[in-house]
Amino acid sequence: MARIVQKFGGTSVADIDRIRNVAKRVKREVDAGNEVAVVVSAMAGVTNQLVDYVNRISPLHDAREYDAVVASGEQVTSGLLALALQELGVNARSWQGWQIPIRTDDVHGKARIVEIPAGELEKRFAQGQVAVVAGFQGLGPDNRVTTLGRGGSDTSAVALAAALKADRCDIFTDVDGVYTTDPRIVAKARKLDRIAYEEMLEMASLGAKVLQTRSVEMAMNHRVPVQVLSSFVDAPGTLVVDEDEIVEKQVVSGIAYSRDEAKITLEKVADRPGVAASIFGPLADAAINVDMIVQNVSEDGRTTDLTFTVGKADLERAVKVLEGKQKELGFARIKPDRNVVKVSVIGVGMRSHAGVAQKMFQTLADKGINIQVISTSEIKVSVLIAEEYTELALRALHTAYGLDAA
């Protein structure tokens, strides 16, 4: 007997037939003698619709009411799936975040889970009952409903698996696993059998949209074995596991890309101590995250150009903040650029192999692609290039690192 958490995303519960299918999958695990908790998302498109309603009534809304509205999508699917299971003769009931309760912090709209008491669910397991839990939602310290940020039901599932000490957390989605890169762009992309937590974390935070970044962080911290698989085909997916459990380590396991960043260049910034602090301070105060940064050498010893990236959604605000400080900061010109993409190669094998970055730079150079900004960490190299080269760069890098499917 195993204890399993199964999570079904929005496309897996998009209509009544699919919910019935999900119920059959759950029943299979129950029939195999396992204890099962299920976490569900809202039906595909529902959360977007709810967010839109909120924004139309109140663009600068009270985040607590936003949560009250957007959490409702998952309430519907948890009830419907419990009913579908009952129709199949499975003992099941739905649980809302506040009933368990899934305790979170007070950051409405993007709350973090702080505690999930397992006792009541475990008691029900012993009676053979399946728990169908509404994902994405919790209960804040103010006793009001919170939500965990878009894509948050992945995190609900992993957190529940950790709290229940589950043997496995299966994340069912509309793709059959984690790929070496986006298969819609690179036809030769391959499904990975296994990927290390750290690699998955980079992949998620660098633009691969399969799992919410926070869910991977949580899986890594609590060593929850996660499997990403399709709810539409009957095949094993990708296991997200500890690095030690991967026998054949690739130097590069995957290539991610993100069109969500924009570039800002400040020309002729004074080259003196404290300047970077005085530029990035006001951005931080405005809650604008800066990602990649380069500072050019100053030719005359007095001024330099400074280039960095921010989220595309924050670009206008960032420009406004900096323009407001132009006198104080003393730069000559500010040049925003939305036409960029960040491409990253990722792999734990990089720790022990030299030349990974060099191969990336050479491959891009051979294709005549100019690199605008570079950043690296222990297990990734990222470059910023012009957006129109996205496809070309991904395909060339995929081949260069030997990732192409046979």
Site for ligand ASP in 114-143 (CB under 6 A): 135-136
Kindly state the smallest distance separating residue 55's Cβ from Mg ion, in Å: 20
Q: Determine if 41 is a binding residue for ligand ASP (CB under 6 A).
A: yes
Please answer whether residues 321 and 282 qualify as being in contact, where contact means their C-beta atoms are separated by less than 8 angstroms: yes
Task: Decide: is 47 part of the binding site for ligand ASP (CB under 6 A).
Answer: yes
Residue 136 or 308: which CB sits closer to ligand ASP?
136
Q: Are 31 and 25 in contact (CB under 8 A)?
A: no
Q: State the minimum distance, in angstroms, from the CB of residue 10 to ligand ASP.
A: 5
Strand partners, 342: 258, 384
> Is the separation of the CB atoms in 343 and 383 below 8 Å?
yes
Residues 5-64 touching Mg ion, rule: CB under 5 A, are: 9
Rg of the chain, C-alpha, whole Å: 23
DSSP strands (E only) in 259-372: 261-270, 290-295, 303-311, 333-337, 340-346
- Applying CB under 6 A, among 97, 140, 151, 177 the residue interacting with ligand ASP is 151
Picking from 157, 199, 147, the residue whose alpha carbon sits closest to that of residue 178 is 199
State the number of binding residues for ligand ASP (CB under 6 A). Answer: 13
Q: Is 152 in the site for ligand ASP (CB under 6 A)?
A: yes
Question: Nearest distance from residue 134's CB to Mg ion, in Å?
Answer: 15
Part of the chain binding ligand ASP (CB under 6 A), chosen from 145-153, 215-223, 252-260, 269-277: 145-153
Name the residue nearer to ligand ASP (CB basis): 210 or 329: 210
Question: Which residue of 10, 177, 254, 347 would you call a contact of ligand ASP, by CB under 6 A?
Answer: 10
Where in 51-90 is the site for ligand ASP (CB under 6 A)?
Answer: 73
147 vs 150: CA distance, rounded Å:
8
> Are 5 and 161 in contact, with CB atoms under 8 Å apart?
yes
The DSSP string of 205-273 is HTT--SS-HHHHHHHHHHT--EEEEESSS-S--EEEE-GGG-SS--S--EEEEES-EEEEEEEEEE-ST
Is 151 an interacting residue with respect to Mg ion (CB under 5 A)?
Answer: yes
Which range, of 4-12, 96-104, 241-249, 275-283, touches Mg ion by CB under 5 A?
A: 4-12
Residue 135 binds Mg ion, judged by CB under 5 A: no
The footprint of ligand ASP on residues 229-268 (CB under 6 A) is none
Q: In what order do the strands lie in the sheet with 340-346?
A: 254-258, 340-346, 380-386, 373-377
> CA 188 to CA 190: how far, in whole Å?
6
User: For binding to ligand ASP (CB under 6 A), which residues are involved?
Assistant: 9-10, 41-42, 47, 73, 135-136, 150-154
User: For binding to Mg ion (CB under 5 A), which residues are involved?
Assistant: 9, 151
